[in-house]
Chains A and B, each alone.
Chain A
Amino acid sequence: MWDYTDKVKEYFFNPKNAGVMENADAVGDVGAIACGDALRLMLKVDPTTEVILDARFQTFGCGSAIASSSALTEIIIGKTIAEAMTITNQDIADFLGGLPPEKMHCSVMGYEALRAAVANYRGETWVDDHEEGALICKCFGVDEGMIERAIRANGLTSLEAVTHYTKAGGGCSSCAEELEEVLSRTNAAMVAEGVLAAGEAFDPATAVRPVRKPTPRAPVKASPLARAAEPEAAKPKLTTLQKIKQIEQAIEELRPYLRQDGGDCELVDVDGDTIFVSLTGACVGCQMSAATIGGIQQRLVEKLGMPLRVLPVQVTH
């Protein structure tokens, strides 16, 4: 049923570093038998360098869970604790060549077990603050919890905005009904809590669904018998100055959204049809920066009515 990569299968059938570790320096337990997923991560740490000398795991769970746990141990052995803590669940999934969206939570479990183990090493307790809900968007692997958090954090009241912020619904759109339900429910709760005006809340009855526009047909070759068509009135061409001003304006309109998340965007240069921007702040290294660039490009194309390409660049001041 699942489309597992060869690497996932390999790490499941022949897991590395499986088993109990005697005298572990750190132990992290996450999950529960009730959930069908549980991982115990054990580490041996060099006290002076904080290098993870060895890592072992025991997992109760499916093929992805066992493979993710094993992959995690391979990734972190030899790294310092500080280095290991920069690893994300996406890194674990990438290491395995990708995981089906329904199985991404297995990689998250690995990420959390590491945090639990490190906390244990430091004599702290690690509190899990992430709530995962049902998987709503299969194309992009977005779960209900993430959608609700995005709606609340950004005061979202439309399906379009939800897609813009989370990518959910931006693929095949089969989840549109469910997204509307989450939006309705969350907005209603926000109104009841007094953080959203009732008039602004999403109303499914009046909401406009973004529908794919028809693909323009290829122009039919005019029959030699047809009368010559009237020449079209030439559209006024934008001067470079006008173009740059419009681009700047479009980017200014987008900056507040990015700033809300701690990021920002600057126009760097324009070269014909290519626009160079620099994403800064929290946008750097953000997994959604590609979607942000895409959003900027779409906005600019709509505004200027001409094909354009937006490319991110690094700016050294």
Chain B
Amino acid sequence: MRPVYLDNNATTRVDPEVVAAMLPFFTEQFGNASSMHAFGSEVGGALKAARQQIQALIGAEFDHEIIFTSGGTESDNSAILSALETQPGRDEVITSAVEHPAVLTLCDYLEKRRGVTVHRIGVDSLGRLDVEAYRKALGPKTAIVSIMWANNETGNIHPVELLATLAHEAGALFHTDAVQAVGKIPVDLKTTAIDMLSLSGHKLHGPKGIGALYVRKGVRFRALVRGGHQERGRRAGTENAPAIIGLGKAAELAIQHMADEQTCVRDLRDRLEKGLLQRVSNCFVAGDPDHRLPNTANIAFEFIEGEGMLLLLNKAGIAASSGSACTSGSLEPSHVLRAMNVPYTAAHGAIRFSFSRENGPEDVERVLEAMPPIVEKLRDLSPFWQGEDQAPAQFSPTYA
């Protein structure tokens, strides 16, 4: 049975062209880019070319605005910590309630241990940011705003260009975690007021363990990882040349395929969504259908639980993900769905299907065939389900 991979927001398959571009840098052009000899200088040239490929993908004005890091998480940590260090009079951070843990966990730590005031802007039931609350939170003590370009669970796209402009009016820096957006939707930084941006290789058919932080020319920056003089002293450590070359190639391919993302991939997602909503009762899309990534479908199925669905999907050869409590380490459901006030009848039963340019219509067919019986099986097991024509069973637990 051919496996169907629909968890591309978690990670993507590395494009074979990317692998081919990386390989010579393991055994042939293996030198340390900082070395004086020919082994080093030939790698240095390749790194510069990769930097320019990423510059092109995100519309940065200069190639030296790109700093290579170990991934999105390091880029997020670097940006926020740097902003606090370079602006000693300002000790407030604004972020959203739906950020990735790479940002939220750091903010929790800063709040608890470093006396930083953190504002977490809420969202409405469709996952749209409360821009009014954001305006009110901005102030003279705001060091940095960090709000993601697109949400990993729902695919919602936030109005980061507008938010960046507002941040500048308050004298604050603006950072965006664009890990999910880059490669899926066009990003043109030079036309925006965005100061810093994080991106990650393995979300755009590049290798894992590599990412970049864009820092606008002129923005003061303090390194997180200190040591040698690599990346102009902004991120020490011998460059992961093969991975950087891979990231560059992935960026080049992303530009080439960008139109496909907006058309073919979007079409597949729409067909899956429509098909499921038609075939299965008591389910709905979690997110803002009008401002969403073209590849993400997050669908909440009432009265059943996410992990159960994933196990049965996995058995049917289909890979997807969920933000239910059981699939996380804690007993809390996805913080994104909770921030959207998705009712508990559905919050534990949301499944995320995320497409890539490697999926096809047969994948949609497989899911449409597999899901209805899976939902039926779990609903038969559930004490909360009484059939779609009747109200859900009255269930009063001995303890709540």
Contacts and interface: CB of A to CB of B under 8 A. Distances in A.
A1 B399 CA distance: 30
Interface residues of A, number: 42
B330 interface: yes
B380 interface: yes
B357 to A, nearest CB: 26
A116 B384 CA distance: 18
Given A61-B305, A135-B329, A31 B324 contact: no
Given A29-B397, A36-B348, A60 B311 contact: no
B36 interface: no
Contacts of B287: none
A150 B383 CA distance: 35
A19 interface: yes
A284 B376 CA distance: 47
A1 B344 CA distance: 24
A199 to B, nearest CB: 26
Contacts of A61: 305, 308, 326
A13 to B, nearest CB: 7
Given A40-B383, A134-B330, A34 B398 contact: no
B308 A35 contact: no
B327 interface: yes
A38 interface: yes
B399 A58 contact: no
B185 to A, nearest CB: 29
A13 B329 CA distance: 23
What band does the interface of chain B fall in when counting residues whose beta carbon is under 8 Å from A?
Answer: 20 to 34
Contact of A33 (B311, B315, B381, B384): B384
Contact of B305 (A60, A127, A128): A60
Interface in A159-185: none
A31 B307 CA distance: 17
Contacts of A134: 330
B308 A36 contact: no
Given A128-B398, A134-B330, 18 more contacts: A13-B311, A28-B398, A29-B396, A32-B344, A33-B345, A34-B344, A36-B331, A37-B326, A40-B395, A58-B381, A62-B306, A62-B326, A63-B307, A64-B326, A65-B305, A102-B329, A125-B398, A135-B329
Interface of A: 1, 9, 12-13, 15, 18-19, 28-40, 58-66, 102-103, 105, 112, 116, 119, 125-128, 132, 134-135
